[in-house]
Amino acid sequence: MSGGVDSAVAAARAVEAGHDVVGVHLALSRMPGTLRTGARGCCTIEDSMDAQRVANKIGIPYYVWDFSERFKADVVDDFVAEYTAGRTPNPCMRCNERIKFAALLEKAVDLGFDAVATGHYANIVTDDDGNRELHRAATWAKDQSYVLGVLTSEQLAHSMFPLGSTPSKAEVRAEAEARGFSVAKKPDSHDICFIPDGDTKGWLAERVGSEQGQVVERDGSVVGSHDGAHSFTVGQRRGLHLGMPAPDGKPRFVLEVRPIANQVVVGPKEALDIGEIAGARFTWAGLAPTHPEIPFECEVQIRAHADPVAATAVVRPLAVPVPIEGQRPASDHELVVTPHTPLNGVAPGQTAVVYIGTRVLGQCTIDRTVSVDSNSAEANSTDANSTDANSAVPSGAVA
């Protein structure tokens, strides 16, 4: 129970469905803020008190579990490391993967609970053989299946999403108000929870530091300078402060971040069109395809609120295995997705979620992208300085 309206209504519905429910709020910071400012951040003391008031209202036990150390190691430190490596991470995906449906679920199962219920807008469907599948919510506008794409078959077996069939967020708020919940009109949180003021650049500068480097064109010509490559993301247009205009007079965009050389590569908008993405860190949400080594048709979504794009996907061996952080073994395969129409502004570190119809089939963290621009045939990777420009070997491998 985050202290928001969605988890409040989800808890109430779980009680009414006949389940024995316990409310749990996750303390994810050792120094949580006292008050929540509008839609900035979450997990404050105020949020904890809001969750407790709802638990008292519906008559369930309520606890606060301290996951701050695990959150720092698995989400915050990972966020810093990814930006330092020139990638663009999604901390919400990591939180779902490593905290809510790993650390929290593991503790819950150890304590004898059957499932973790959350206020996410997604559906779980059980097929004729008893296998559980993750599907989109009833409404596209509030569908949150993308950020749940990291869930595995085992985690889906112990997950519940009571809001999945709700037509709209307005209906959830109306229900909360009818139940007398004080959070009925509480605004949603839209920012990174551990950067409540929204200043990601400043937050990173405090932890990574600032070192001046070059802004270069694809041919290596220097067109400007920067105070820290980590503060740039692929697709960025504003804040480049280029010293000279492009020959064609058109705006330039960030195409690549090179952390080792401390360079930011810029170029025309058309160079952001991506014809292939691939990642060795992939998982299946439920049963895997019977023959993933055979190309199959699907849809791919690269951001939480992006439209899905028709694509072809396949799992194929890597030329060189990529070492994976943490406890997972080195991967010797990658999930390769080829969109039927180019994706725009995709960065290594982002998550690509693959769908078949409404079903979430699986996901991968993007290791490399391939531009369709004829003047930029390079394979962009998480460390462009260690890979030949036309190589298909992702970063982390030894070429």
- Whether the predicted pLDDT of 125 surpasses 60: yes
95 is annotated as an active-site residue: yes
- Whether the predicted pLDDT of 399 surpasses 90: no
Q: Please tell me which residue in 42, 43, 95, 298 is annotated as part of the active site.
A: 95
Give residue 360's pLDDT.
97
pLDDT tens-digit profile of 40-92?
A: 556 788 899 999 999 999 999 999 999 999 999 999 999 998 888 888 888 98
Give residue 227's pLDDT.
83
Nearest to 388 by CA among 373, 372, 368, 365: 368
- Whether the predicted pLDDT of 246 surpasses 50: yes
Per the CATH hierarchy, to which homologous superfamily does domain 5-178 belong? HUPs (3.40.50.620)
The count of other CB atoms within 10 Å of the CB of residue 365 is 25
> What's the longest Cα–Cα distance across the chain?
68
- Whether the predicted pLDDT of 35 surpasses 80: no
**Could you tell me if 163 and 388 are in contact, meaning their C-beta atoms sit under 8 angstroms apart?**
no
Q: How confident is the model at residue 108 (pLDDT cuts 50, 70, 90)?
A: very high
pLDDT tens-digit profile of 262-312?
A: 889 998 888 899 999 999 999 999 899 999 999 999 999 999 889 999 999
Give residue 322's pLDDT.
60
pLDDT tens-digit profile of 321-373?
A: 665 554 444 578 999 999 999 999 898 899 999 999 999 999 999 998 998 87
Considering the entire predicted model, what is its pTM? 0.85
Enumerate residues 6+ apart whose C-beta is below 8 A from 140. none
Percent with pLDDT over 90 in the chain:
52
∠ at Cα 211 (209, 212), nearest 5°? Answer: 150
193 is annotated as an active-site residue: yes
The mean-pLDDT minimum among 135-144, 179-188, 190-199 falls in: 190-199
Q: Please tell me which residue in 43, 92, 193, 364 is annotated as part of the active site.
A: 193
CATH number of 210-267: 2.30.30.280
Enumerate residues 6+ apart whose C-beta is below 8 A from 108. 24, 115, 116, 158
Between the two ends of the chain, the Cα-to-Cα distance in Å is 47
**Could you tell me if 315 and 364 are in contact, meaning their C-beta atoms sit under 8 angstroms apart?**
no
Give residue 85's pLDDT.
82
Of the two residues 321 and 113, the one the predictor is more confident about is: 113
Within the chain, all domains assigned CATH 2.30.30.280 are found at 210-267
CATH number of 272-386: 2.40.30.10
Q: How confident is the model at residue 12 (pLDDT cuts 50, 70, 90)?
A: very high
How far is residue 68's CA from residue 99's CA, in Å, rounded to a whole number?
Answer: 10
Within the chain, all domains assigned CATH 3.40.50.620 are found at 5-178
Q: How confident is the model at residue 392 (pLDDT cuts 50, 70, 90)?
A: very low
Nearest to 164 by CA among 223, 124, 195, 204: 124
